Structure 1
Amino acid sequence: MTFSWPELTPDLYDAVRQRVRWEEDSPDGCVLHAAWFVSNGLNVLDIWESEDHFKRFIADRVAPVLKGELGVQSDPEPQFFPLHRRFIAPGISGGGA
């Protein structure tokens, strides 16, 4: 799954991450999450066990914080693609910087 979200700044992303605590309490079905910022805002690449897992996580945990607490008005337009292959380099685990 990938998306870009121009409205989300690094400060908003970090606020959501701290409140939702997905790194400490991993969402069901999440295999990998990577996020970065460029001129068009937040970009995300996730691997989920299913599209439904992603949608439940957004509805149950992310949306109440983003929409309710932080007042974000826009929505990303995620695109889902079947995973052909994944590789995890030896010795790599945990969150990044």
Structure 2
Amino acid sequence: MTVLAKTFVPGLTREQYEELGARLTDQVKSTPGFIAHYAWEGDGGMNVVEIWESAEQHDAWFNDTIRPNLPAEATQEKHELINTVTP
């Protein structure tokens, strides 16, 4: 089932996020199950939302590639989506 994963990384600056993005954007775009990525600055850190075809695909990417680059204080929540509408 399609999943939305929201991660908040306290203390991560826009510049640090952009540096990570420059290294990882092409890789995530070619990762099986990836649908979309959105990010915005929040109070004291960065918020990232990704949409994946399954939680398993997201977790494999996140745990192997992203988690090692984040502080322990980063938090994540996941939600199964009951509907997705795309053009």
In the alignment, structure 1 residue 9 sits paired with structure 2 residue 24 = no
- Structure 1 unaligned residues grouped into runs of 5+: 67-71, 91-97
Structure with higher Rg: it is 1
- The offset of 1:10, in angstroms, is 0.7
Give the corresponding residue for 1:45.
49
**RMSD over aligned Cα, in angstroms?**
1.9
Q: Which amino acid aligns with 1:73?
A: P
The count of aligned residue pairs is 81
Q: Relative contact order: is structure 1 or structure 2 higher (C-alpha 8 Å, sep ≥ 6)?
A: 2
Give unmatched runs, 5+ long, in structure 2: none
Matched, 1:31 2:35: yes
% of aligned pairs identical? 25
Change (3 A) 1:78 1:60: same
Greater strand share, structure number? 2
TM-score where L is the length of structure 2: 0.75
How is 1:1-97 mapped onto 2 (pairs within 5 angstroms)? 1-20=5-24, 22=25, 24-25=26-27, 26=29, 27-64=31-68, 66=69, 72-88=70-86, 90=87
SS, match of residue 28 in structure 1: coil
In structure 1, give the amino acid aligned to 2:13: T
Pair 1:77–1:38, CA change in 2 (3 A): closer
Cα separation, 1, equivalents of 2:56 and 2:73: 17
Is the CA contact (8 Å cut-off) linking 2:10 and 2:73 kept in structure 1?
no
